[in-house]
Every structure is written in structure tokens, then in C-alpha cells.
Amino acid sequence: MSQRVRLGVNIDHVATIRNARGGALPDPVRAAVLAEQAGADGITLHIREDRRHVREDDLFRMVDAVKIPINLEMACAEEMLAIALKVKPHAVCLVPERREERTTEGGLDVAGQHDHVAPFVRKLREAGVRVSLFIDPSVRQMAAAQSLGAPVVEIHTGAFCEAHISGDAARIAHELELIQTAAKDGAARGLEIHAGHGITFDSVAPVAAVPEVRELNIGHFLIGEAIFVGLGQAIAEMRRRIDLARGEA
């Protein structure tokens, strides 16, 4: 299978550990530099309204510290737009956000919230930022993403990864088929296809093997694995599994 899949490493949860004690350590920027050295193709971070993990100063320092592209995940909110327009990262991924959720539960309903999302896509694109929309694996959402003029979509793989953990073969097959169908549909519409959320060593291969997928964004599992083997080794092993799934190892 052709075309190497890029690996974006999400370092949010280094900041989660830092914030547990309120000090400066561990520094998520140090993790981003390490990830770059370990072969990450990009750094992803999510600034939430409640700043539960990364903060503006992390983003500002990160932009200076790494050379690989930075992908800022943010909600469609004026406060976040102002930050993004100030920093102008390589990419912004628009995600849904609910204060009470533990993590991003489900994709952004770009079909239902078309008019709310549209000005964010437009203003970011006008500023030269590549916009992606984090959506559930659905043809309806792909059609809406296309009509919004976003060049990239990121398919939410959370339901697939949860099915994978459950071990229920029928559920796994169903969720994977949704991803495969949506990826094919999106690519046919000219959208670049990314995927992410909940991916582990065990669940990465079927997603990486979806031919239209160009980039995976992986965070929580890699930071957890880093506790045991170090961040460099965790990233290298994820890279190896992605390449193997593409028939490139």
C-alpha cells in the first residue's frame, strides 16, 4: 500500500500530569521536542476553555521550540479563534467541546451546526491556517465538511477503539466499516483524511490500513506508554506498527 501515514503526537496529557501539582513540571514543550526527535511528523495540542491541560504559554513556547507542524485543536469559540489567529499554527482542528466531558466525546456535528462552524473555517483559512474538522465517520458529515470548504477532516475513531477493547467482533467490524466508508466518501470529495482518538498499539493497524488515511493523531496512549518505556520508544513502536499496516516495514 502506498503513501506513508503521518503521525501527529498529542502531548496534552503531559500537561495534565503537570497540572495535577500546579507547578511547571513535567513540561509539555520538552515532550514535544522529544517527540520531534523520535520521528513525530507533527505535534497536536488542545487548548480547552477550562485549560485543564495545555495553556496559551505552552502553545507560544511550543511554536518556538519545534520545527514540525503544530496542529491546534480548539472549539468553535471566539476566545480560541483569537488565540489561533495570534499564533497562526500550521493547522487547526475544530472539535466539539463540553465542559463536563472527560475527553472529546464524539465528533463535531458540522451537518447540524453548519452556520455556526462556517465563520471559523473561513477566518482561519483567510489567515492561511489549514483547517480540519473532527467528525464522526458518517457520509452526512463528510458532505457538510465539503460544503464548508475545509480541506481536511479527522475521523473520530473513539467508537472503533472502544469496540476493539470490548473484543466484540461484530461491533469492531461495524465500526471499522463506518470509518472505511466515510474515508472513501471523503477522499472522493477531495478531502484529506486524518483519524484519531483512543488509538493504542492494539487498535492502530486497522485504522492505519484504511488506504485514504494520511495522518493519525495519537496522544493519551502514547503518554501513558511513555511512563513504562519512555516517549521515544513508545513513538517508535507506534511508527513501526503504522508502517507495518501500510505494508511499508
Judged by the rule CB under 6 A, the positions of this chain that interact with ligand PXP are: 10, 12, 46, 73, 93, 95, 103-104, 134, 154, 196-199, 217-221
Catalytic residue among 13, 46, 53, 194: 46
Q: Which CB atom, from 10 or from 180, has the smaller least distance to ligand PXP? A: 10
Closest-CA residue to 151 (of 186, 107, 106, 108) = 186
Q: Does the annotation count 114 as an active-site position?
A: no
Q: Which CB atom, from 140 or from 220, has the smaller least distance to ligand PXP? A: 220
Contacts of 76 by beta carbon, 8 Å cutoff, 6+ apart? 94, 108, 113, 116, 117, 120
Nearest distance from residue 134's CB to ligand PXP, in Å? 4
Contacts of 194 by beta carbon, 8 Å cutoff, 6+ apart? 8, 132, 152, 153, 154, 155, 213, 214, 215, 216, 217
Catalytic residue among 53, 194, 197, 212: 197
What DSSP element (H or E) covers 7?
strand 6-10
Q: Does the annotation count 73 as an active-site position?
A: yes
Q: Which CB atom, from 170 or from 217, has the smaller least distance to ligand PXP? A: 217
Nearest distance from residue 171's CB to ligand PXP, in Å? 19
User: What is the distance between the alpha carbons of residues 245 and 39, in angstroms, rounded to a whole number?
Assistant: 17
Q: Does the annotation count 13 as an active-site position?
A: no
Report, as residue numbers or ranges, the catalytic residues: 46, 73, 197
